[in-house]
Structure 1
Amino acid sequence: MKKLEAVIKPFKLDELKDALNNLGIQGMTITEVKGFGRQKGHTELYRGAEYVVDFIPKIKIEVVVPDSIADEVISVIEKTARTGKIGDGKIFVINVDDAVRIRTGQRGEGAIS
């Protein structure tokens, strides 16, 4: 199994959720995060004072999928989240040794379906 962590622009969330649902992925974890990379921050004016905003709001999506569909899911995330501009985000791929459904004790791929 693979855990895919995608950090994307917030306005892409609904479109990506729909695209993943179309692949049959029904469960995911969403976290509001802040960060910066090449996009850097920007300066804002508030009540006459200048403030540097270093961290840009992003959304982190976490989903665990069987190895057999990981590449397809990565492609869908990449295609859906891409705007072609700096700050589109990243996808991290992490090996998952096991998963346990707490309610039933079911383990492995059965716990993520």
Structure 2
Amino acid sequence: MKMIRAIVRPDAADSVAEALADAGFYSMTQVHAFGRGKQKGISLGSIRYDELPKTMILMVAEDDDVEEIVKLVNFKAYTGNFGDGKVFVSPVDEAFTVRTGQPGL
């Protein structure tokens, strides 16, 4: 299993979530976040925005599904401009359902 954390523009989050659901990946958590990437924020005239609003989409998926999920996120979140986002993939050793205590997804 893998944990996928996709940090995207807030206006792209719904499009990403819909595309994932249409592909059969329903389970996810969305979190409103603020941050900056390599561009270190943006400057508009004399105003500097150090941290920008983002949406983080978190999901755990089977190893075989990770490539498809990452492709969907990249396709739906892409604008070609700085700040489109980032996707992180990391291993998950175990998962348990709170209600039943059962292991697995």
Decide: shared fold, TM above 0.5: yes
Q: Quick one: distance in 2 between partners of 1:5 and 1:22?
A: 19
Structure 2, unaligned runs of 5 or more: none
Superposed CA RMSD in Å reads 1.5
Deviations 1:51-103 (A, max 9, x none): 53210100000010011111111111111111111110100001000100011
Query: Using the alignment, how far apart are the partners of 2:43 and 2:54 within structure 1?
Result: 15
Q: Which 5+ residue runs of structure 1 have no aligned equivalent? A: 45-49
Using the size of structure 2 for normalisation, the TM-score is 0.91
Specify the alignment match of 1:57 in structure 2: 53
Q: Which amino acid aligns with 1:76?
A: L
Counterpart of 1:80 (choices 72, 76, 83) is: 76
Greater Rg by CA: 1
Would you say how many aligned residue pairs link Structure 1 and Structure 2?
Answer: 104
What's the TM-score once normalised by structure 1's chain length?
0.85
Give the % identical residues. Answer: 36
Partner of 2:35: 35
1:22 aligns with 2:18: no
Aligned-partner residue type, residue 63 of structure 1: M
Per the alignment, in what secondary structure is the counterpart of residue 6 of structure 1? strand
